[in-house]
Amino acid sequence: MSNINIDKQYVANTYARFPVEFAYGKGSYLYSADGKEYIDMGSGIGVTAFGICDDVWKNAVIEQLNKVQHTSNLYYTEPCAKLAQILCSRTGMKKVFFGNSGAEANECAIKVARKYGADNKGKDYNVIITLKNSFHGRTLTTLSATGQDKFHELFNPLTQGFVYADANDIRSVEKLVNENKVCGIIIECVQGEGGVNVLEQSFVKGVRELCDKEDIIMVVDEVQTGNGRTGELYAYMNYGIMPDVITTAKGLGGGLPIGCCIMNDKTEMVLGAGDHGSTFGGNPVCSAGAISVIERLDDNFLKDVKKKGEFIVNELSGAKGVESVSGMGLMLGIKTTRPAKDVVLECLEKGVACLTAKDKVRLLPALNIDDGALKKAVEVLKEVCAK
Ligand SMILES: *Cc1c(COP(=O)(O)O)cnc(C)c1O
């Protein structure tokens, strides 16, 4: 039996996979088991930030693997400590909790906001505002936080205490603050799964001001937008605000599972010993890889991410079959005349692996994708969109 058929028989039916089995790759090129070459414009949904089997990342991981792969959180390890230090120095935040995924990062942020509310405003201040069309994860609580009904229907009762505001409508946030005992607001500065929707500057600033005024914890979900993806280290840095909590995951690990909840001076002491934990959190191998990722995201590199993004936007804006392009840096959504799914399937047949987000084609290439691969991929995409 082929691996595809074994997978179909034995792996849970939770994914609608494309009919391709990837066997190996390098940088922004992936190779299928039957020997076909693909340009990777999705980087495993924004995870392989420096591409497949990047040497710097791989060596950092191997070096740590040769020392110790896991200790449990009963003990200290260097990569975990150093990574937390780097994340704080790059953001101005104070402390990091490590988990293994975006959902876990958000679970921690939700606990921080609720405990902050209980400690500072009263036990009933437990409501969290998120935005319609958001995506915050697949655990029952982060599913509740996700402002999309289609994710909720089958899994009631969900975790209580989430209400949903309209993106880019500060009045709708204010209304929910007035109607509920709110402890936290979670936003994605660019909604990823929701269709690559960029939040407006005035809205993000308005949320910050409202949180200051009402003593509410402002959480930015940077699981997808973080770690250089938008051309800044974190997407909130495009907005000139400081959040109280940052959650991030995906690209930080470079391909190994990691998630973190980063807290500022207001939130760093909210969780105490025993309030939260994770067996694998802060794993030294994942952390060593993450250090190698974050250390390369300097100003020059981030400028290059913006340039690559601008190249894509310039090529696709106004191209035949392209209605609009949204996003920031190398997180882009393309509204196509043809159904996005058809475009992505046909690109895949032509050796270019793209993603969708709602009704858009979504591009999340490796941050260091070489210009040759990028050019080739954009040519194919234009050709398929024009049909
Ligand atoms: C992917 C994603 C998550 C969930 O991350 P997992 O690692 O799949 O748990 C949460 N928030 C945002 C914005 C995401 O894009």
Q: How far apart are CA 55 and CA 106, in angstroms?
A: 30
Whole-number pLDDT of residue 16 = 94
Cα 259 to averaged position of ligand 1 atoms, centre (Å):
9
Whole-number pLDDT of residue 171 = 98
Architecture of domain 3-54+299-385: Alpha-Beta Complex (3.90)
- What are the residue boundaries of the structural domains of the chain, listed by start? 3-54+299-385, 57-294
Whole-number pLDDT of residue 258 = 98
Ligand 1 binding pocket includes 267 (Cβ within 6 Å): no
Q: What is the residue with the minimal CA distance to atom 15 of ligand 1?
A: 224
Q: Residue 253: how many CB atoms within 10 A of its CB?
A: 27
Residues 6+ apart with CB under 8 A from 221: 102, 106, 109, 134, 136, 186, 187, 188, 247
User: What pLDDT, in 10s, does the model give residues 215-250?
Assistant: 999 999 999 999 999 999 999 999 999 999 999 999
> For residues 363 and 335, is the Cβ–Cβ distance under 8 A?
no
**Residue numbers of the chain with a pLDDT score lower than 70:** none
Give Dmax (Cα) for the chain: 62
Q: What is the residue with the minimal CA distance to atom 11 of ligand 1?
A: 136
Cα 138 to averaged position of ligand 1 atoms, centre (Å):
8
Is 57-294 in CATH node 3.40.640.10?
Answer: yes
> For residues 356 and 346, is the Cβ–Cβ distance under 8 A?
no
Ligand 1 probe mutation, 223, 229, 362, most atoms within 8 A of CB: 223
Ligand 1 binding pocket includes 224 (Cβ within 6 Å): yes
Ligand 1 binding pocket includes 137 (Cβ within 6 Å): yes
Average pLDDT, the chain: 98
